[in-house]
Structure 1
Amino acid sequence: MTPRIARALRITRTPDTPRRRRAGLRELALTVAAAALAVPFATVPAEAAHAAPRTGFETSDGARWTGQPEEQEFLSAVDRASDRVAIERIGTTKQGRPLQLVRIGAPRPAAHTMLLICSQHGNEPSGREACLSTVRDLAFARDRATSTFLSRTNVLVLPTANPDGRAANTRGNADGVDINRDHIALQTAEGRAMAGVIRDQRPDVIYDLHEYGATPPYYDKDLFVLWPRNPNVHDGVHDASQTLSDRYVRPAAAESGYSSGIYGIWTDPVTGDPIKQTAGDGQERILRNTSGLKHAVGLLIESRVDALSEAEKADPALNQRRRVESQHAALGGLFTFDDEQRGRIEAATAVSRLAGFADRGPVYLGGADNDPAEPGEVIQDPPCGYRLTAAQYADVGDELALHGVTSRPDGDGAYVPLRQSARNLVPLLLDERATYHLTNGQALTAC
């Protein structure tokens, strides 16, 4: 294979954007980089490069996507050849396909953990290809910086989060369900598997790779990004996530020659001012928001599917290489952020996990960081807990457990206190006023 030549990203930092301030959408100045790298410090030695497995996408020079059997063979080959890699089956889809989690680096339970979720939507392949080659590059790199990084970091990768949708080339899974709208209800095998990983591995960072269709000239950047906007996300987690976007991922994309913007917001092509919001709200059922509610710094990334030129229209491989390379460039920003901001990330996630035990402050049933909740969407004085009947608990107990919510027996039912790490998530699951609640729990004012 042709090894990825490592380089340190030289990124011009931009100031943090305070919470609730409308983010500026000026296009970053583009500079052409020599290569777009998933891991800026990962260097594969020449002797290892010849033995390292390659994906179907790589062997075809981008003419076709890696097939599922090829992916299985590729991952097995990486696993056999590298003592850094372990692969675990975390679930099975409705059609019997495996959901595989790849672990690279420190196996210690308390290690700093990063989770990459790739191809939740089965017809969005570029993130999956970037994830597969990133797994290989981390597994085979032998430079000191990568070895040090992996000695204290647990990198988890779910290369194909929606295998059935991938096989059918559909957005949804075998039942037509959009998995990225199932992170509260947990009705899909795929959503349940991801929830279990997040609960058990407690990732500090969750990065979710997607693709989008452009609407020129208002919505046609090479990449769009978005952090958790749900107003219940702890400020430290929210602000670190926005730093990941504004100071790392977007500048890394610009360094490699790619434009970027904020997902879900159309902009004036002349002034760069926002003119319309089409998506990107605070829905708790979307992974980037669920991740924040579960105390992880996170980001959604979307690469542009549409051809950028007549050359790309004439040569699909050119289009597909650009999509994957832009994902690699953004991943470079992610890894630099995780390496440089490790202390801040861990402090933010730790404080977020502890904040619920104080059991203070309102809980928001709607709104976003750029769209304040209406008065009727705010529980100003939340209950001390919710009581579930035996029938209710039998119906939703497994989902509560997958969410990491603590509950205890109470008569013939169960009691779910708010004073716990998942405090801000509990009303979203059990209050009848919440849009995506699992059941109508009885709010208790005296516990």
Structure 2
Amino acid sequence: MRHRLRTALLGAVTTALTATFLAGPAPAVAAGHAGPRTGFEESGGARWTTQPEEQELLARADRDSARLQVDRIGTTEQGRPLQLVRIGATRPPTADRTRHGNSVLLICSQHGNEPSGREACLSTVRDLAYATDAATRRFLERTSVLVIPTANPDGRAANTRGNSDGVDINRDHLALKTAEGRTMARVLRDYRPDTVYDLHEYGATPPYYDKDLLALWPRNLNTQDAVHEEATTLSERYVRPTVQHSGFSTGIYGIWTDPETGEPVKQVAGDGQARILRNTAGVKNSVGLLVETRTTPLTQAEKDDPAVNNRRRVHSQLAGLKGAFAFLDERRGRIEAATGAARTAGYADRGPVYLGGADNDPATDEEVLKDPPCGYRLDGAAYAEVRDELALHGVRAEQDGTGALVRLRQPLRALVPLLLDGRSADHLTVAKPSAGC
């Protein structure tokens, strides 16, 4: 029965996700239904969808589909909109429904020169908006879908990795110095998505690091065990196998492997830094996953025709999303149980907090708060400096006449020392540990 349900889901919910772009342009809407096409689709992959085309597609879907709503949730330094798309079964899910049911947040093109994830997100938004089949409706009745189609619009316009100030916003999920980082933090706080799926691209280094799609879960040691387990399951039992079944090669992000033996050679990326979104998601009790598709052309056809390369990049992203949707549908009970338990675990205020290390790199003694303080005290000036960032993260602070006390006994327990302890690499300010809360 489970196999039949999964087959139906993958065939109906993700009709567009199974359509191959390798042979040329093809409609990516649910069978038998009209809908706006992306600029990428119209050109057969010869060019990427422009911002005006993106805005037109989203506006039309918002107008045509009762189940979808597009919200402007922020503005970049150069005045471009940051948008959140909310998709439900019959109407857009509210924040309250999203917080109390299974939900996923797709974050697309944090790096402006990595467009394939954005293309996959735009066509997925369109397909979910216009689909009328029973399997899609059933899926959306049980899973709220949130999408930030372009997380870095200024970088996308300039075709740069960073935003208009040159900042890598995927290193800003703790400090929240950028408009983009602050906007994503607000979405994580207000909607509390169970799963955060982050779409990227990378340049290959043949023959050690050249898979079509790489994936990686939160390595940060503050990720609760059950959340970590679901994140590795998402990668290793759903996304990567589905991508492989679609004819693409896969691997683990950041790990070079020997092409002859498949054994690891060295790690070049993918550590446990809490400021990176996949790790921030884990620290904030969500199932996080980073996916990276290969930009480097490796076949002669891809070298001769960039459109062939572009189509392969987008299609491998769509294959990954197909696996992610199956994960969301089949394991929704386990996902909700894992994230729900992780959010309540902080109230117990027990166990160590890790200031370093990763799931494949044990923390040193200096990187472990084995007996953390019950809280951190901020004087008036320090609290004024960081109060907005604490609020954006959803960290509760108790004001008094001399400043504020931030207790660890709260859902984001592990995040508190990362933000306020002077030994943390990414602290916002140095607060005084409190022994008497």
Instruction: Please state which band the TM-score falls in when normalised by the shorter chain.
Output: over 0.9
| Equivalent residue, structure 1, for 2:25 | none
177, 193, 218: which one pairs with 1:228?
218
| Equivalent residue, structure 2, for 1:334 | 324
User: Any idea what the Cα deviations from partners look like across 1:232-272, whole Å, max 9, x if unmatched?
Assistant: 00001001000000000000001100110000010000000
Provide the C-alpha distance between the structure 2 equivalents of 1:310 and 1:377, rounded to a whole number of angstroms: 48
CA shift for structure 1 position 410 = 2.6
| Equivalent residue, structure 2, for 1:59 | 42
| Equivalent residue, structure 2, for 1:18 | none
Do the aligned partners of 2:84 and 2:149 also contact (CA within 8 Å) in 1? yes
1:73 and 2:56 are equivalent in the alignment: yes
1:429 and 2:419 are equivalent in the alignment: yes
Greater share of helix: 2
374, 380, 391: which one pairs with 2:364?
374
Aligned partner letter, 2:321: L
Query: CA 1:304–1:413 in structure 2 vs 1: closer, same or farther (change >3 Å)?
Result: same
171, 178, 185: which one pairs with 1:195?
185
User: Any idea what the Cα deviations from partners look like across 1:216-247, whole Å, max 9, x if unmatched?
Assistant: 00000000000000000000100100000000
Question: What root-mean-square deviation, in Å, do the aligned CA atoms of Structure 1 and Structure 2 show?
Answer: 1.5
CA shift for structure 1 position 107 = 1.6
| Equivalent residue, structure 2, for 1:248 | 238
| Equivalent residue, structure 1, for 2:24 | none
Query: CA 1:428–1:236 in structure 2 vs 1: closer, same or farther (change >3 Å)?
Result: same
260, 270, 293: which one pairs with 2:283?
293
1:118 and 2:108 are equivalent in the alignment: yes
| Equivalent residue, structure 2, for 1:362 | 352
Aligned partner letter, 2:143: T
CA shift for structure 1 position 35 = 3.9
Do the aligned partners of 2:18 and 2:318 also contact (CA within 8 Å) in 1? no
SS at the partner of 1:295? coil
Do the aligned partners of 2:143 and 2:329 also contact (CA within 8 Å) in 1? no
Do the aligned partners of 1:35 and 1:256 also contact (CA within 8 Å) in 2? no
CA shift for structure 1 position 34 = 7.1
| Equivalent residue, structure 2, for 1:410 | 400
1:167 and 2:157 are equivalent in the alignment: yes
| Equivalent residue, structure 2, for 1:318 | 308
| Equivalent residue, structure 1, for 2:208 | 218
CA shift for structure 1 position 9 = 4.9
| Equivalent residue, structure 2, for 1:140 | 130
93, 96, 99: which one pairs with 1:107?
93
Provide the C-alpha distance between the structure 2 equivalents of 1:290 and 1:359, rounded to a whole number of angstroms: 19
Give structure 1 regions of 4+ aligned residues with deviation exceeding 6 angstroms.
none
SS at the partner of 2:72? strand
SS at the partner of 2:260? coil
Provide the C-alpha distance between the structure 2 equivalents of 1:123 and 1:259, rounded to a whole number of angstroms: 22
More divergent stretch after superposition (430-439 vs 150-159): 150-159
| Equivalent residue, structure 1, for 2:253 | 263
Aligned partner letter, 2:336: E
Aligned partner letter, 1:44: A
Aligned partner letter, 2:232: Q
SS at the partner of 2:120? helix
CA shift for structure 1 position 149 = 1.2
User: Any idea what the Cα deviations from partners look like across 1:394-445, whole Å, max 9, x if unmatched?
Assistant: 1100000011101111322000000110101100000000000000000011
Give unmatched runs, 5+ long, in structure 1.
1-5, 11-32
SS at the partner of 1:172? coil
Aligned partner letter, 1:69: P
Provide the C-alpha distance between the structure 2 equivalents of 1:217 and 1:151, rounded to a whole number of angstroms: 44
SS at the partner of 1:443? strand
Do the aligned partners of 1:36 and 1:326 also contact (CA within 8 Å) in 2? no
SS at the partner of 2:323? helix
CA shift for structure 1 position 151 = 1.9
Query: CA 1:339–1:8 in structure 2 vs 1: closer, same or farther (change >3 Å)?
Result: closer
Give the TM-score normalised by the residue count of structure 1: 0.90
74, 78, 92: which one pairs with 1:95?
78
How many residue pairs are counted as aligned between the two chains? 413
| Equivalent residue, structure 2, for 1:44 | 30
User: Any idea what the Cα deviations from partners look like across 1:54-88, whole Å, max 9, x if unmatched?
Assistant: 00000001000001111111111111111111000
| Equivalent residue, structure 2, for 1:28 | none
Provide the C-alpha distance between the structure 2 equivalents of 1:53 and 1:80, rounded to a whole number of angstroms: 12
Provide the C-alpha distance between the structure 2 equivalents of 1:107 and 1:9, rounded to a whole number of angstroms: 22
Provide the C-alpha distance between the structure 1 equivalents of 2:250 and 2:289, rounded to a whole number of angstroms: 14
Provide the C-alpha distance between the structure 2 equivalents of 1:135 and 1:115, rounded to a whole number of angstroms: 12
Do the aligned partners of 2:113 and 2:156 also contact (CA within 8 Å) in 1? yes
Percent identical pairs in the alignment equals 68
User: Any idea what the Cα deviations from partners look like across 1:191-220, whole Å, max 9, x if unmatched?
Assistant: 000000000001011000000000000000
Provide the C-alpha distance between the structure 2 equivalents of 1:34 and 1:418, rounded to a whole number of angstroms: 45
Provide the C-alpha distance between the structure 1 equivalents of 2:299 and 2:257, rounded to a whole number of angstroms: 21
Aligned partner letter, 2:139: F
SS at the partner of 1:99? strand
Provide the C-alpha distance between the structure 2 equivalents of 1:360 and 1:122, rounded to a whole number of angstroms: 40
Provide the C-alpha distance between the structure 2 equivalents of 1:383 and 1:76, rounded to a whole number of angstroms: 49
Provide the C-alpha distance between the structure 1 equivalents of 2:102 and 2:242, rounded to a whole number of angstroms: 23
CA shift for structure 1 position 112 = 2.1
More divergent stretch after superposition (363-372 vs 141-150): 141-150
| Equivalent residue, structure 2, for 1:305 | 295
CA shift for structure 1 position 7 = 6.0
SS at the partner of 2:106? strand
SS at the partner of 2:259? coil
Q: Which protein, 1 or 2, shows the higher relative CO under an 8 Å CA cutoff with sep ≥ 6?
A: 1
Do the aligned partners of 2:248 and 2:316 also contact (CA within 8 Å) in 1? yes
SS at the partner of 1:87? strand
Query: CA 1:346–1:288 in structure 2 vs 1: closer, same or farther (change >3 Å)?
Result: same
CA shift for structure 1 position 152 = 2.7
Provide the C-alpha distance between the structure 1 equivalents of 2:161 and 2:8, rounded to a whole number of angstroms: 35
Do the aligned partners of 1:113 and 1:154 also contact (CA within 8 Å) in 2? yes
User: Any idea what the Cα deviations from partners look like across 1:112-154, whole Å, max 9, x if unmatched?
Assistant: 2210000000000000000000000101111111001112321
| Equivalent residue, structure 2, for 1:3 | none
Aligned partner letter, 1:201: Y
